[in-house]
Amino acid sequence: MKDFWSRCAVTLVAIGVLIALLVFAFHPWVQYGVVLFVACLAAVAIWEYDRMSQVKNGKVLFPLSVAIVFSFFLQAGWPLLVFFLAVATLFAFHFRRLEGAILDLAVSSFGLLYIAVPLGMMLGILFMPKGDGRIWIVYLLAVTKATDMGGYFFGSLWGKRKLAPTISPSKTVEGAIFGWIAAIVVSGLFSLSGSIGLYPSLLLGAILGVASQFGDLSESLLKRDANIKDSNQIPGVGGVLDMVDSLLCTAPILYLYLSAYDHCY
């Protein structure tokens, strides 16, 4: 529970910073600060991933991850083009270094797809061409964190059956179920804002509740293979990857949902 309260403290500080950024997100100058903030998160997360993978391509991955994040701020067809150029750059980087090229390319490309693209999609949601993307960012964070905190709290108190003991010994089936229910409830409450209907909100909440826990377990899998407990040593959080692991799976779903159903376009 000590870890729980430290997480709560860091989360409250992060929420305060986030609210300040969101309130002024559409200001001509502040929006670039928001983009820079997300780009920095991506760069640190890529560094943590690069350290875990031990491929050591940080000097090329850092600028590529920042470029991918920024491309989602530009919208239109930029993200696809920039990602293609990023992969091409990774290939070009190995034209004079043949040894280990296949492994390096696979690990590096996956890192960009796994980290930079989802974080960039959060900017795509925030700065949608039409509508107020701030509402959807709040929704995304609320549902994702409700799943995380609900599952953690309930699992710590009443969890008995292990969910995935090999990669995450502390997670339980009971905690996972409660976290999933928390996601549906929070998503359903969001329908009161009028931005989404009740039934779509319940369905979307159910999907995001599963995706959030999948993202958490996925990052745990990477850490266990790298034989580390946390991706970094930030007090109360661990690392940036530990902080955003669930969002890396929920952000793409919401981004594609909003694009497919044309809610605010």
pLDDT of the residue at 236: 62
Distances (CA, A) of 121 to 125, 198, 200: 6, 24, 21
Please check the confidence at residue 168 and state whether its pLDDT lies above 60: yes
Q: What is the C-alpha separation between 225 and 137, in angstroms, rounded?
A: 32
CB 152 within 8 A of CB 163: no
With tokens 């996972």, the residue in question is 176
For range 55-63, the mean pLDDT: 84
Q: What is the C-alpha separation between 206 and 193, in angstroms, rounded?
A: 18
pLDDT of the residue at 265: 40
pLDDT of the residue at 23: 86
pTM over 0.85: yes
Binned at pLDDT 50, 70 and 90, residue 54 comes out as confident
Phi-psi region of 232 (alpha: psi -120 to 50; beta: other; left: phi over 0): beta
Please check the confidence at residue 4 and state whether its pLDDT lies above 70: no
Binned at pLDDT 50, 70 and 90, residue 7 comes out as low
pLDDT of the residue at 68: 97
| CA quadruple 250, 256, 261, 264: dihedral sign | positive
Q: Where are the domains of the chain?
A: 26-126, 132-265
pLDDT digits (tens, 9 = 90+) for 108-118: 999 999 999 99
For range 197-216, the mean pLDDT: 96
For range 16-28, the mean pLDDT: 83
Higher pLDDT, 22 or 236: 22
Higher pLDDT, 20 or 44: 44
* Mean per-residue pLDDT of the chain: 89
Q: Calculate what percentage of the chain has a pLDDT beyond 90.
A: 65
For range 257-264, the mean pLDDT: 72
For range 8-12, the mean pLDDT: 70
| CA quadruple 239, 240, 246, 249: dihedral sign | negative
- 6 three-state secondary structure: helix
